[in-house]
Structure 1
Amino acid sequence: MNEEEVLSEFRNCGALLEGHFKLSSGRHSAHYLQCARVLMNAERAGNLARALAQKIPREIRSQIEAVVSPAMGGLIIGHEMGRALGKDAMFLERPEGTFHLRRGFSLEPGTKVLMVEDVVTTGLSSREAIEAVGREGGEVVAEVSLIDRSAGEVDLGVPYFPLIAISFPSYNEDELPPELAAIPVTKPGSRS
């Protein structure tokens, strides 16, 4: 799938929002990609996961033993990536602020993991999730996401393969353009 096809999927289900949004990263933007809406249709979610799986080079794909994603955002696409790759999919949670595996999930020491996210902006959540996998005994060999909002600038410390990389500007709270500051802020993400 190319960039326009992916964005068309978001537009068609009302998942490409415009306004003033505070992202999970803490940055502000005039655009928000509500991945939960695009992934609410199982067939569409599966198609996106299969397209994303095609982005992973064969030599990396052959190493993957498990799929891990951070809850909430990565949960659905992580599950679909597990299906697309024929691997178990589990998720990290952070009820006390630090990611870890719960619900009986565990990794054997040295398990080669594919990290799966919905959207990456600054990469902070991804890096925290990658560190958590290391603490749990696994080794993240690569990360994939539906959307790279950094337009290819983010460094996750592992090979990274987004379905598309876009450049919707985002701003620190103290550098908001006047036209964005004039719009009431909405925080649609999963993190408080």
Structure 2
Amino acid sequence: MTVNEIDKTPADRPAEPPDAHDQWNFAVRRETPTQRLDRNYAEILQEVRVAQTGVQLLLAFLLTVAFTPRFATLTEFERSVYVAALVLGAAATALLIAPAAFHRLVYQRRLKRQLVLASSRFALCGLTLLMLSIGSALLLILSVTLGPAHAAWFTTGALGWFALWWFAFPLWSRMRHSGDR
């Protein structure tokens, strides 16, 4: 049996030809394109669950800051950084929850491929915004405790650290092993 024979699409939708990943997954895992999409979506949801906890804790912290007595003493710069952190955190939250909302709206419409692609993009953009929100929150806290000059240096280093492990290293690994397929 071939991957096309295993995973037929309904007659009302044109079948997409299997791509190289579909063919490899079928040959090695005996996994049909539909099973692969189900697995990919489950993996994305697991990844998003990790990030959601962090963004929800950060957002909860940021939402309470404005109601503390010390908030009135923040400089204009620190208030601007606070607003940036809050907005970036809210935007990250929206994107990291978006796969669930997208799934609910396309449920039982045979749009799993679109769901997986959109969810992957939501997660990547959400992680980027989460990194920027953490950086902004760090800048705010360090600015209050160390002053803006030191805060800028430490925050730049922290953002570089996040970017290295969240984006640069995975992209380097992806390029380094791109011929291994």
Decide: shared fold, TM above 0.5.
no
Flag the structure with more relative contact order, 1 or 2, with Cα contacts below 8 A and sequence separation at least 6. Answer: 1
- Larger Cα-atom Rg: 2
Flag the structure with higher helix content: 2
Flag the structure with higher strand content: 1
Alignment TM-score, normalising by the size of structure 2: 0.22
Alignment TM-score, normalising by the size of structure 1: 0.21
